[in-house]
Amino acid sequence: MTLPRGALKPREEDELLKVRLACPDIARACDLARTFHELLQHRRGHRLLEWVRQTEHDAPAPILSFAQSLCLDLDAATATATASLTLPWSSGIVEEHVNRIKTIKRAMYGRASFRLLRTRILLRA
């Protein structure tokens, strides 16, 4: 259901159509998930608020819950989404390095000195 349109084989499209016809909630969830995915993929952060408003009308409970959690701090979510979905820069590489360092630190906790931790981090860079 989360694959882009046209990526499914004809038999799979038929099965998905049967599921969508049998359960309107699944059809609506699929549509909203695809719309949200397109916002992310095509960097349309300025349309996030519009998507949240769409979910408030008739979204299934899990997607409505997600949209409501975005609304808890909509200013931050909108600013973050607008920046991350419209600008070409990403902090993904930095987050990867932070995660790697934390993993090494947890593995060595209580077993070695800071000097050895520093050495292991620098050698893996």
Digit-coded pLDDT (tens) for 103-116: 988 888 888 888 88
In a domain, 5, yes or no: no
Closest CA to 33 of 12, 72, 59: 59
Confidence of residue 81 (pLDDT cuts 50, 70, 90): low
In a domain, 1, yes or no: no
With 80 as the cut, is the pLDDT of residue 76 above it? no
Output the pTM of the full model.
Answer: 0.59
In a domain, 78, yes or no: yes
Same domain, residue pair 69 and 100: no
To which H or E segment does residue 96 belong? Answer: helix 92-108
Q: How many CB atoms within 10 Å of residue 84?
A: 15
Same domain, residue pair 60 and 18: yes
